[in-house]
Structure 1
Amino acid sequence: MHKEKFVFAQLVEFLNADKFRHIVDKHQGNRYIKSFTCWNQLLVLMFGQLCNRRSLRDLAMAIGAHRGKGYHLGFGSDVKLSNLSKANTNRDYRIFEEFAYYMVGKAQSKRMDNIFKLGGKVYAFDSTTIDLCMNIYQWARFRKTKGGVKIHTLFDLETQIPMFFHITPAAVNDVNAMDVIPYEPGSFYVFDRGYNDFKRLFRINEIRSLFVVRAKNNLQCKAVRWKRRMPKNILSDSVVTFTGYMSERHYPKPIRRIVFYDEEQDRVFTFLTNAFSLDALQVVLLYKNRWQIELFFKWMKQHLNIQKFWGVTENAVRIQIYSAITAYCLVAIVHHDLKMECSIYEMLQILSMSLTDKANINDLLNKSNFNNFNERCGSSEPSLFAF
């Protein structure tokens, strides 16, 4: 990296500008645009994400404060509040969606690892709800006086990268999003008990994919066969068939039921799975690792700016979410390529204060800087990338 470049410009070098340009041309994103192109818009939005700007006006003021650096940062020469607002409202969100998926694929390929050694990929699927003001975001009506959107996410537990995301109004039931998951035969899918939809689970079984789901307390079933010798804390490991009318009709085949006692929480958990060959403790371990997607949601809400949106239209909200995911994947790629020993949280903290500095990014992100930073700030934030 050239030491005279701004830190943000060095980060941008990890983006594939040609790929983004191809996507823009495909959707005619720059048609009739003389200044402030889609590329400029993406960089401005990512800059706002990484330096944690709280509003569109706040972002425009931050860009204005660095007006003399705009060309070298990739912002162009016409970054104004009105232009940015108009671009977020009118430009096709599919441009940013497609590029976000490209970044997801690139980050996953770099961070690919066979942690569970199960012969297939391991995913967790869940959603997070972002509350919105009903008076402003009327298109996202949730309840009588409340609005919101849901981000349904398929999270790769081995690479720690969100592989698929589906954005809906908050009123959409979580199980409906199971219909749009791009299932892969031989892969494992981990669900919480809100996804006890046996018709959809049976569909996963029929395409030769595997699932683990936490069962509800009112499950009606009868044991067909069971194991007598079980590992510690496994209270029951049996093959069952459903006896409830609708559950039996929707899932007509036998399914495995595992009951586990968690000593730390002093609670009993019941799991259902179609993975008959796995050890019972492996099934429990898969579900325990589902917590990684909750950490991702927490990390994204705290450190990428999606809690307060920079626009009121559905198009603007989608563009901001996709730019947040692109920023997340960019940081993950930089973390991998520069072989950082720090956590993503620590990287983000240093970068947020240094985007317009002329420092070599390798020197900026070296271990000694993070040790000093932790001593000053007392950071104990869990790392999503620590295995």
Structure 2
Amino acid sequence: MKKSTMFSNILQTIIPKEEILPLINEAGYVDSARKFTVYDLFLFLSQAALQQWDGYRDGEKRMSSSGLATVDHSTISKKAKDVPFELFKQLLSLMIQKCNRPTRRRLRIPKELLVVDSTKITVGIGRLPWAPLKGEKAGIKLHVSLIADTGKLHKVTETTGYRPDISSCEDVLDDCFILVADRAYGKHRKFDDYLEQKQYFVIRLRDNTHFHEPELRTRKRPYAGTLEQDLTCQLGTASTLSKNRFRVVILKDPHGNPVILATNLHRPSAEKIADMYKKRWQIEVFFRWIKQHLNVPTLFGTTPNAIYGQLYSALLVYVLLKFVFDQGNAIVHPSAKLSFAEFDRLFSMNELQPEWTVYLTSNLTFP
């Protein structure tokens, strides 16, 4: 069985056509097409991400070999422009719900780390005049939360490139997790809201942050490694001063630059707080991976529906691949275990070991 056909079969098994129909009705879209339906567009965009097609014209040439209904590129473009992208956003949420369900049952009361950040995709201003940036650039952002220890996608939202990260943070948060984020999310007065909402966090502050009435925390042993201070204080100057006192852990990065972390966690050691923040690198790896492997920087259309529909479909492919990989790696013999990068490469080249092929064709199960 060809790789592309195998993936299409897996995708149609976990999200069959009948599950998408209520979402189409909910979006208020009337799918009157017979030759190329919304579901056909969904399969097309997913295959385009997996196989890194160059656009609608390139996809037109490859549809048949991928087991998809064939139409001309203008039909695909028109459909992508017409279908509300919120539908694909809901499909991504449905895929996340299905693929993360076993983890949630095992964890009971999870307090894992939820890493939050955004990635920007830029093009020329002529391509996206509705999303202008500085100069002759235009762009959009994907705001993402990722479960650090598993690499599973948790929530996603979209904005134009000018939207500040902090303004979209609420859309991807979950108070069942500990928020871990970089300086773009370090608004002092927002910390007061998190404290009231019982949203735990570890967030890096800007190097010039003002500490109001700092007090060193009691410590039984000397600082080790790159740790320098562990204190509590109010944050900011008079105009931005936080109402509450927060814990601040200060350390050095490998280049000797200060890393200042604010948190409302008081029981973990300073070393543990530092380790939590180091998990943030996983979202950088995630952004790099989707851009290299799912064609994310290559935007096919020019309208919000076409752009965001394509991107949400690509993220859905990531969620499905991660689920298939995690389940397979837990089943196959230790000698056949792979890293996610190895699995993706071999799967894309249709060169997986026989044990993996048997798993994908016969033993793959969905929640």
TM-score range, shorter chain: 0.7 to 0.9
RMSD: 2.9
What are structure 1's unaligned runs of at least 5 residues? 367-387
Runs of at least 5 residues in structure 2 that lack an aligned partner in the other structure: 361-367
- CA deviation after TM superposition for structure 1 residue 141, in Å: 0.5
Q: Which amino acid aligns with 1:11?
A: I
Question: 1:19–1:331: structure 2 CA closer, same or farther, 3 Å change rule?
Answer: same
SS at match of 1:140: coil
**Which of 175, 193, 196 is 1:203 aligned to?**
193
Distance in 1 (CA, whole Å) between partners of 2:280 and 2:81 is 35
State TM-score, norm by structure 1: 0.82
Q: Does 1:327 pair with 2:327?
A: no
Matched letter for residue 161 of structure 1:
K
1:145 matched residue in structure 2:
136
Provide the residue aligned with 2:230 in structure 1.
Answer: 237
What is the deviation of 1:334?
1.2
What is the CA distance between 1:331 and its match in structure 2?
A: 0.6
Task: Summarize deviations over 1:192-224 as a string: whole Å, max 9, x none.
Answer: 112221122221111011111112121111213
Counterparts in 2 of 1:45 and 1:238: CA distance versus 1, 3 Å: same
Q: State the shift of 1:118 in Å.
A: 9.7
Q: Quote the residue 2:15 is aligned against.
A: 16
Question: Does the C-alpha gap of structure 1 residues 114 and 189 become closer, same or farther in structure 2, counting only changes over 3 Å?
Answer: farther
Once residues 338 and 145 of structure 1 are traced to their aligned partners in structure 2, the CA distance between those partners, rounded to angstroms, is: 46
* 1:256-278 deviations in Å (ceiling 9; x for gaps): 0111234x433332211110111
SS at match of 1:203: helix
1:31 aligns with 2:21: no
The Cα shift of 1:29 comes to: 4.2
Whose RCO is larger (CA < 8 A, sep 6+)? 1
2:265 counterpart SS class:
coil
d(CA) in 1 for partners of 2:3 and 2:260? 58
Which of 339-348 and 126-135 deviates more?
339-348
Which residue of 2 is the match for residue 342 of structure 1?
338
Superposed, which structure 2 residues align to 1:1-387 within 5 Å?
A: 6-17=5-16, 18-29=18-29, 31-64=31-64, 66=65, 73=67, 75-76=68-69, 78-111=70-103, 120-184=111-175, 186-221=176-211, 222-228=213-219, 229-233=221-225, 234-242=227-235, 244-248=237-241, 251-262=242-253, 264-339=254-329, 341-354=337-350, 362-363=356-357
- AA of the residue aligned to 1:349: R
Alignment: residue pair count: 350
Paired amino acid for 2:26: K
By how many angstroms is 1:48 displaced? Answer: 1.3
Contact 2:146/2:154, CA 8 A, preserved across alignment: yes
CA 1:217–1:87 in structure 2 vs 1: closer, same or farther (change >3 Å)? Answer: same
Please state how far the C-alpha of 1:79 moved relative to its aligned partner.
2.2
What code does the residue aligned with 1:53 have? W
Q: For 2:279 and 2:105, how far apart are their aligned partners in 1?
A: 15
* Alignment check: 8 A CA contact 1:14 1:334 kept: no
Deviation at 1:9, TM superposition (A): 3.9
Query: Cα–Cα, structure 1 residues 35 and 144, in superposed 2: closer, same or farther, change >3 Å?
Result: same
Q: State the distance in 1 between where 2:29 and 2:236 align.
A: 55
After superposition, the Cα gap between the structure-2 partners of 1:20 and 1:119, relative to the gap in structure 1 and judged at 3 Å, is: closer
C-alpha distance in structure 2 between counterparts of 1:5 and 1:258, whole Å: 49
Q: What CA deviation, in whole Å up to 9, does each residue of 1:73-101 have, x standing for no partner?
A: 3x23x422111101100012121110101
Alignment partner, residue 379 of structure 1: none
Query: How many angstroms does 1:230 deviate by?
Result: 3.9
Preserved contact between residue 29 and residue 38 of structure 1 (Cα < 8 Å): no
Letter in 1 for 2:248: R
Partner-residue secondary structure (3-state), 1:271: strand
Other-structure match for 1:376: none
For 1:178 and 1:352, the matched residues in 2 are separated by: 34
Give deviations 1:296-330, integer Å, cap 9, x for gaps.
00001010111111111111000000100111111
Shift of 1:190: 0.8
Distance 1:114 1:204 in 2: 26
Residue 360 of structure 1 deviates from its aligned partner by 7.4
Which residue type is aligned with residue 46 of structure 2?
A: M
Partners of 2:5 and 2:120 in 1: CA distance:
36
Q: 2:75, 2:4 → 1: CA distance?
A: 27
Q: Is 1:3–1:360's contact at 8 Å kept on the other side of the alignment?
A: no
Output the CA distance in 2 between the equivalents of 1:6 and 1:308: 23
Render the CA deviation track for 1:314-370: whole Å, top value 9, x for unaligned.
110000001001111111121123236222322222333339x9x97833789xxxx
Supply the distance in 2 between the matched residues of 1:131 and 1:5 (Cα, whole angstroms).
Answer: 29
